[in-house]
Structure 1
Amino acid sequence: MSKTKDLTIKDVRVIVSSPGRNFVTLKIVTECGIHGIGDATVNGREMAVASYLQEHVAPCLIGRNAHEIEDIWQYLYKGVYWRKGPINMACIAAVDVALWDIKGKVAGLPVYELLGGKSRRAVTTYAHANGETIEGTLDSAEALIAQGFKAIRLQTAVPGLEGTYGVLGDKKDYYEQQSSRPLPPEQPWSTRKYMNSIEALFREARDRFGDDIALTHDVHSRLTPIEAARLGKMLEPYDLLFLEDAVAAENQDSYRIIRDHTTTPLAIGEIYNTIWDCKELIQNQWIDYIRTATTHAGGITGVRRIADFAALFHVRIAPHGAPDLSPICYAAQAHLGLWAPNFGIQEFVGFGNEVSDTVFSHDLTLKDGMIHVGDSPGLGVDFDEEAAAAHPYKRSYLPVSRLEDGTLWSW
């Protein structure tokens, strides 16, 4: 590693753009001209993150040595009385990932080599199959299997409900649901209707695809612990890879109740921001997969700590991979996934679209349902600021759910 380059941080840029959807991108530039990029997107609260970065984080970075990743991480975490939280940790994550990108470029090595090298050839992913009907969902799954995916998440509309998580009907995204007056779309929810229909989806999936395809399902925090326990027991014959977010994430002890009643593997963690949020779940072995994302849990440094801790308790990582996470996040997680001995699987909805491909470039490739990481120094991702400027921020929100009597529920 060169010791002659001046890695003093001289510029920190925060760019909010919407190439297909909103992203908050951080660019850190050193005196020698080497730069790194990080993702700080918090869907529906993008400008809060951008402001925090611009007004409070960026001034603290100017003049610091970009090589000092750990000290800067601790400085931004311990040096702030108001720790944790999605906004704060997304900002720390963006800085952390950008610094790892710089360190890799200086070393002339991809980030996974700096972490300790490969533990596997490529990163196994699971894709999303959605549909208005069971048949539609399974047709979508069949198309994904034909593309080489070996693991599929199944979501289908609940009969009798207008709008269901994961199923957008004739809308391609949440922007279209909000039209010219962006406010959170509202969707109805009925646990009884859901519970009466969900088993058929997995029964028919196993009948159609056999036992070799791994299947997952996202409850999206809609159930109580005992309802989730019943669902897990109901789905045991269909051998799920995992049941995701069965109960709201705040009360970790809820998962003890589920675990006591079912052997269906459990996954949670996409809204967790630190190791402290999932510590009890992991050490009590109430879950099987932890789903924290680099963007939302303190970057590569934060998720690496979680992965190492989880490995002690037979818990594997399965990082969140929603479309509101930019290709920078996907790259960071791919490098982590190559390295982590206890990697499980990576959620995958695509690296982007035709518009975002004009803004983000990367050396990731997908083949047979697996992400292959190139050998570019750093993350292997770059960001075109000029192209991003052509796609200004567009305010948008995730939906909210209400029970059929109007009670606000978890979305």
Structure 2
Amino acid sequence: MRITDARVIVTCPGRNFVTLKIFTDEGVTGVGDATLNGRELTVASYLTDHVVPLLIGRDPARIEDTWQYLYRGAYWRRGPVTMSAIAAVDTALWDIKGKVAGLPVYQLLGGRSREGVTVYGHANAETVDEVLEEVARYRDLGYKAVRVQTAVPGLDATYGVSKDKMFYEPADAALPSESAWSTERYLDFVPSVFARVREEFGPDLKLLHDVHHRLTPIEAGRLGHALEPYALTWMEDPVPAELQEGFRLLRTHTRTPIAVGEVFNSIWDCHTLITEQLIDYIRATVVHAGGITHLRRIFDLAALYHVRSGSHGATDLSPVCMSAALHLDVSIPNFGLQEYMRHTPETDEVFPHGYWFEDGYLHPSEEPGLGVDIDEELAARYPYQPAYLPVSRLMDGTVHNW
């Protein structure tokens, strides 16, 4: 079997997605997600101009060799654009291998380690009373874990709070929108939110919170310490993680579990964090961390150091990526949680898939391969729309981490 063609498909059924579809001379196809939120066309160009020509004639069964060829062969390694492109190829090849074997991909990864994949949803609102209603809604839908985000009084906009509660998409403008941020107001307010939520819902519901890289290590230590009475499952992205050593300081000031990694694209981004046990959950994704092959390496390293998975699963990961994530989630021994932001009906129609949600768990498809595809004719009805992520500034106008 040989690869005969590979097509890059850009579509926007409510938001932009980049999908790679690989074709073989035996009629077997595979799909991979290459979406990079706010920079989609860059990855599409990288694939079209530099990667697709290298795939023609290759044996699709040689997944590891192809991964190394694209990673080492480019010389300019890593980075979100390169790794998202490699991820798309890798994921599509796993899809093909599963179809050839007549097995769902998770069976090729060692089979099930659990019956279902525990997922969490996003409860967000303008006020604490409203967010309690949102938490209750997710609980009633069967979720066993909920991320809680509320607007901060005195700020015009707060990360994680959206008009559409179920289909949150932050990339919403042709040019970046801007909002003001106050760390002081945020730190004073957030602990009181979780006091209310825990009082209302008791100890059994798993609670999470996303700081979104906005604090320094000592500020994050203060927040984590203040949240300890409410037993969060994790505090996400408390500080920018380029300086992995910064987590040493944070770790000495709180026992609240720490999750990080949605912007990571290689094992080297989290090597220190994992090997020094500075985090509890690693949140790297299939699409941004080099595909199933490389993300499995990250999870295997993490397992040696008692770090569990907690993969990113926002709406900028297409159903192709979500399906791939579930096959990996259900197979690894150190699974923790999987983020699950539901896609719009339009997106689900463009990407027909076999995974399903039931009683707080997602279940991977039992079809051969990933159990997901792209309807190219329908995708063509939704052309690309420019959309940027927002920009955050401090109260004095200084650009800050969004």
Q: TM-score, normalised by structure 2?
A: 0.98
Which sits farther off after the overlay, 355-364 or 388-397?
355-364
Match of residue 57 from structure 2:
63
* One-letter amino acid of the counterpart of residue 383, structure 1: I
Q: Give per-residue Cα distances to partners, 1:194-253, cap 9 Å, x unaligned.
A: 011101110001110000001000000110000000100000000000000000121101
Q: 2:384 corresponds to which residue? A: 393
1:9-408 to 2 correspondences below 5 Å: 9-169=3-163, 177-178=172-173, 182-350=174-342, 352-408=343-399
Distance 1:318 1:271 in 2: 13
Contact 2:327 2:364 in 1 (8 A): yes
Indicate conservation of the 8 Å contact 1:8/1:30, yes or no: yes
SS for the counterpart of 1:371 is: strand
1:168 Cα shift? 2.5
Cα-to-partner distance string for 1:22-54 (whole Å, 9 max, x where unaligned): 000000000111000000000000000000000
What are the superposed Cα offsets for residues 129-171 of structure 1, whole Å, 9 maximum, x if unpaired? 0000011111100010011111000000000000000113479
Check whether the contact 1:307–1:316 (CA below 8 A) recurs between aligned residues: yes
For the aligned residues, what is the CA RMSD?
1.2
Aligned equivalents of 2:155, 2:365: Cα separation in 1:
44
The C-alpha deviation readout for 1:101-144, integer Å capped at 9, x for no partner, is: 00000000000000000000010001100000011111100010
Residue segments in structure 1 that go unaligned for 5+ positions in a row = 1-6
Taking the aligned partners of 2:286 and 2:364, their CA distance within structure 1 comes to 17
Q: Which amino acid aligns with 1:245?
A: D
User: Is the CA contact 1:226–1:258 (under 8 Å) kept in the aligned structure 2?
Assistant: yes
Tell me the secondary structure at the aligned position of residue 22 of structure 2: strand
Residue 20 (structure 1) shift: 1.1
Q: Distance in 2 between matches of 1:355 and 1:197?
A: 37
Flag the 1:327–1:262 CA change in 2: closer, same or farther, 3 A.
Answer: same
2:330 aligned counterpart, secondary structure: helix
Cα gap change, 1:176 to 1:281, in 2 (>3 Å): closer
Shift of 1:81: 1.1
Q: Distance in 1 between matches of 2:358 and 2:157?
A: 33
Q: TM-score, normalised by structure 1?
A: 0.96
Distance of 2:136 and 2:353 partners within structure 1? 28
**Does the 8 Å contact 1:174/1:397 carry over to 2?**
no
Tell me by how many angstroms 1:68 deviates: 0.2
Letter of the 1:284 counterpart: E
Q: For the residues of structure 2 that align with 1:173 and 1:139, how far apart are their CA atoms?
A: 17
- Aligned residue identity for 2:31: I
CA contact (8 A) 2:84 2:287 kept: yes
| Deviation beyond 4 Å, 4+ runs, structure 1 | 169-177
In structure 2, stretches of 5+ residues that fail to align are none
Cα deviation for residue 176 of structure 1 reads 8.9
Structure 1 residues 170 and 324: CA distance shift in structure 2, 3 A: closer
Equivalent pair of 1:190/1:403 in contact (CA under 8 Å): yes
- Please give the alpha-carbon distance, in whole angstroms, between the structure 2 residues aligned to 1:54 and 1:369: 39
Question: Hey, what's the Cα distance between the residues in 1 that align with 2:169 and 2:290?
Answer: 27
Does the 8 Å contact 2:351/2:372 carry over to 1?
Answer: yes
Q: Distance in 1 between matches of 2:296 and 2:355?
A: 20
SS in 2 for 1:217: strand
Cα distance in 2, alignment partners of residues 343 and 281 from structure 1: 17
Question: SS of 1:21's equivalent?
Answer: coil
Q: How many angstroms does 1:267 deviate by?
A: 0.3
* Other-structure match for 1:3: none
How many Å separate the matches in 2 of 1:244 and 1:173?
18
Secondary structure (helix, strand or coil) at the match of 1:129 reads: strand
Quote the Cα distance in structure 2 between the aligned partners of 1:263 and 1:196. 19
SS of alignment partner, residue 334 of structure 1: helix
Assess if the C-alpha contact under 8 Å between 2:171 and 2:390 holds in 1.
no
Does the aligned pair in 1 maintain the 2:144–2:205 contact within 8 Å? yes
**Secondary structure, aligned partner of 1:188:** strand
Q: Deviations over 1:66-97 (max 9, x none)?
A: 00000000000011111000000000000000
Cα shift at 1:174: 5.5
Asked if 2 retains the 8 angstrom alpha-carbon contact of 1:322 and 1:348, the reply is yes
Deviation at 1:16, TM superposition (A): 0.5
Do the aligned partners of 2:172 and 2:389 also contact (CA within 8 Å) in 1? no
